[in-house]
Structure 1
Amino acid sequence: MRTFTLTCLALFMTLTGSPSQAASDAAVEDFDSIKLYTLKNDQGMTVKVTNYGAIITSITVPDRDGNPGDVVLGYNNVEGYINAVDKPYFGAVVGRYGNRIAEGSFTLDGETYSLAVNNGENSLHGGIIGFDKVVWTVKSADDRSIELTYVAKDMEEGYPGNLDVSVTYTVTDENQLVIDYHATTDKATPVNLTQHTYFNLQGEGEGSILDHELMLNANEFTPVDQGLIPTGKTPNVEGTPFDFTSAKPIGRDIDDDHEQLTFGGGYDHNWVLNKSGEADAPTLAARVHDPASGRVLTVSTTEPGIQFYCGNFLDGRLQGKSGKTYGHRSGFCLETQHYPDSPNQPNFPSTILRPGDTYQTQTVFGFSTK
């Protein structure tokens, strides 16, 4: 039988400063359950996961010369994730609704629900205490896979329904990290789960990601207003800085004089994925190559969209696990998802989960070199 590595994370720590309500809630009764789990294969790939926020704290994969390196941003202890300036959601599963819901409100089956507002006038990534700030239960774990579960109570952060959620991380021999999401509910409710890991394929803390070459398998994207809420339109990317249909450096067009880049401070948008094959089978969403290390990240998903965010709000105030600061655009996210604000956008694919149905999505992060 496989064994798994279990490491306690700073359980007797003293929180300083002004911790958030999420921190105090966790500390009262759940801190003794926070652990760190190590998944690995025989090819030199290692993934570390904590049950606080279902956070991926580390992914170590070899470069083109076989040298291992950690390629995700994060911290060495729970305090770092709880007390991080501006709460960047490093490595976390976000929900109940990943991304933004306009004005923290939506109407479902004739009833209007008011959500916790935490991003200007909008609700972002589940609210004030989203899934990234709670302690998940570890249902099973070995050295290749871990399943984490959480029950979000009816009206938690304003969302209707008791939502039973599970997230499973699995490392394969092909240097893939497979992420499976499942959820059921006892009331109709919006659900949109995603993984918020920040990548730097040159290595965590190794500077800008602007030379990384990105391909997005998407001919359209969803433009936003100044509050980063989609307008409802899905224009073609051709002839715009948002065209990644052929691989190009992330930094090539990022400073172009374009209204959407001004609104996002760079790229912080959802792309409409070109889907092919069976609906429940993952299809290619993105590919990223770092010329310096030779590492390649491929993202496949069953989801209809992907949010590409290039660390526009990182500004050097956060110091990561290697002791290096995270400067402007030193990490990127590829968040597979349904579109932002879908509960208020009837033309977007529905995110409503109803009793008797099962929310089930899969995303695969694959690593290689060239």
Structure 2
Amino acid sequence: MMFSRRSLLASLAALPLAGCAGRLSGRAGVVAETFGTLPDGQPVTLYTLTNGSGASLRAMTYGASVTNLVMPDKAGTFADIVLGLDDFESYRIRSRNFGTLVGRYAGRIGNGRFPLDGREVRLETGGSKHSSHGGPDGFAKRNWHAQPLDGAAVRMTLLSADGDQGFPGELAIAVTYRLTPDNRFRMEIEAVTTKPTVLNPTHHGYFNLSGVPGSLVHDHVLTMEADGFTAFGPDKMVTGDIRPVAGTALDFRTPKPIGRDIASTEEQMRIGGGYDHCFVIRSTPDTGPRKAARLEHPGSGRVMELWTTEPGVQLFTANGVNMAGRGGAPYKPHCGVCLEPQHFQNSPNQPGFPGTVLRPGQRFRSVSEYRFGVA
């Protein structure tokens, strides 16, 4: 849905959280229920999207987070294929960005600063050397407003103030989650700003297609439509160097189990502790989403393809995760895999990367689809 700044800001000011609806069965629709309460008394609402074919998606207003995604395997058995936690307080206190919408800027911005129109912008870093995922109080820690849409869809909106986490411009952003009858999770992000700023939001979902809580993703077979990746230095800051994947542990041009090279002693793998790299997706003449990645779990037969308009995909294998997850399942390193469609990290400091500047009068739009099936 296209929008102007005036119309979006008006909708943000007037849009209430939806109330609880009746249960829906056997058809596409949306059910809303209270999931928790923030310390300031704000309610957090959880929306369940069902597509009428047995698949379902749950998303809460806190962090615009996808908490559950239920898909069938080759035998027709449904299971939750994303990592998550049991209750809202766990998400508020312990979450590792499980299913969140991160922003304003996904990934790191070097030294928490960047040049913009002849001046230096300084960001909140929370005491860290670099800015990460939009700052210590980024979009993943905000309670978004939400509105259910026709079919199995919900639209969430947020107003980010001028100077929020150091980013210039009042930014109005909307994300629409839709679950289609053919088991596609479609995500559309749009935004407008009052001043020049940088913007790079993404979905931070951890997938495990086996549907077995606590299992590792070493047996998942991954293909990336990428010939290069953005290399980083010893502090995991992207340097601006785009290196070929050929001859490295990051070569997924043909299908390869994630676990085959995850313990490689190559420099990039040692620094990342596994995969934590942005892949440069091959461009196509088409302006719509193009195929960026394919993930398959041979045991269950579940397949997921990522199609996106974004120039890059961050591959992250939950390298530092070590906690009790949903139902008490042991979440250990490599228990999930993130495929995050986005622009490149540290782009504001790298003139050779695709630009991320958004200016007044422009409309940011990003479309991604996680398409599910069985082999």
Distance 2:256 2:35 in 1: 39
Distance 1:366 1:343 in 2: 31
Query: Which letter maps to 1:214?
Result: L
Aligned to 1:235: 243
Distance 1:3 1:327 in 2: 35
Query: Which letter maps to 1:334?
Result: L
Aligned to 2:35: 9
Is this contact kept in 2: 1:47–1:60, CA < 8 A?
yes
Deviation string, structure 1 residues 116-157 (Cα, Å, up to 9, x no partner): 114830111010111000000113445500000000000010
Aligned to 1:16: none
Distance 1:120 1:228 in 2: 13
Deviation string, structure 1 residues 214-260 (Cα, Å, up to 9, x no partner): 00000000110122111111121111111000010001111122000
Question: What SS does structure 2 have at the residue aligned with 1:347?
Answer: coil
Aligned to 1:144: 152
Candidates 87, 92, 97, aligned match of 1:77 = 87
Query: Which letter maps to 2:319?
Result: N
Is this contact kept in 2: 1:217–1:274, CA < 8 A?
yes
Q: CA deviation at 1:314?
A: 1.2
Residues 228 and 119 of structure 1: is their aligned pair in 2 closer, same or farther, counting only changes over 3 Å?
Answer: farther
Unaligned runs of 5+ in 1: 12-25
Aligned to 2:301: 294
Question: What SS does structure 2 have at the residue aligned with 1:103?
Answer: helix
Is this contact kept in 2: 1:8–1:35, CA < 8 A?
yes
Q: CA deviation at 1:2?
A: 6.8
Is this contact kept in 2: 1:118–1:124, CA < 8 A?
no
Candidates 357, 362, 367, aligned match of 1:362 = 367
Distance 2:175 2:302 in 1: 26
Distance 1:176 1:261 in 2: 32
Aligned to 2:222: 214
RMSD over aligned CA atoms reads 1.4
Distance 2:181 2:127 in 1: 40
Distance 1:265 1:4 in 2: 40
Aligned to 2:252: 244
Aligned to 1:226: 234
Aligned to 2:352: 347
Distance 2:127 2:71 in 1: 34
**In the alignment, structure 1 residue 41 sits paired with structure 2 residue 51:** yes
Aligned to 2:7: none
Q: How many residues end up aligned between the 2 structures?
A: 349
Is this contact kept in 2: 1:3–1:142, CA < 8 A?
yes
Instruction: Give matches, 1:46-125, under 5 Å.
Output: 46-84=56-94, 87-118=95-126, 120-125=128-133
Aligned to 2:195: 187
Using structure 2 for the length normalisation, give the TM-score.
0.90
Query: Which letter maps to 1:360?
Result: R
Is this contact kept in 2: 1:39–1:142, CA < 8 A?
no
Question: What SS does structure 2 have at the residue aligned with 1:251?
Answer: helix
Question: What SS does structure 2 have at the residue aligned with 1:10?
Answer: strand
Is this contact kept in 1: 2:71–2:80, CA < 8 A?
yes
Q: CA deviation at 1:3?
A: 4.9
Question: What SS does structure 2 have at the residue aligned with 1:28?
Answer: coil
Distance 1:312 1:119 in 2: 22
Aligned to 1:27: 39
Query: Which letter maps to 1:247?
Result: P
Instruction: Give matches, 1:322-337, under 5 Å.
Output: 322-337=327-342
Query: Which letter maps to 1:366?
Result: R
Is this contact kept in 2: 1:277–1:283, CA < 8 A?
no
Query: Which letter maps to 2:295?
Result: V
Distance 1:119 1:143 in 2: 44
Distance 1:331 1:189 in 2: 32
Distance 1:235 1:112 in 2: 28
Distance 2:351 2:339 in 1: 24
Distance 1:328 1:230 in 2: 22
Is this contact kept in 2: 1:38–1:143, CA < 8 A?
no
Question: What SS does structure 1 have at the residue aligned with 2:83?
Answer: coil
Aligned to 1:274: 282
Is this contact kept in 2: 1:5–1:143, CA < 8 A?
no
Deviation string, structure 1 residues 96-121 (Cα, Å, up to 9, x no partner): 00110001111101111111114830
Farther-moved stretch of structure 1 (103-112 vs 347-356): 103-112
Distance 1:139 1:67 in 2: 31
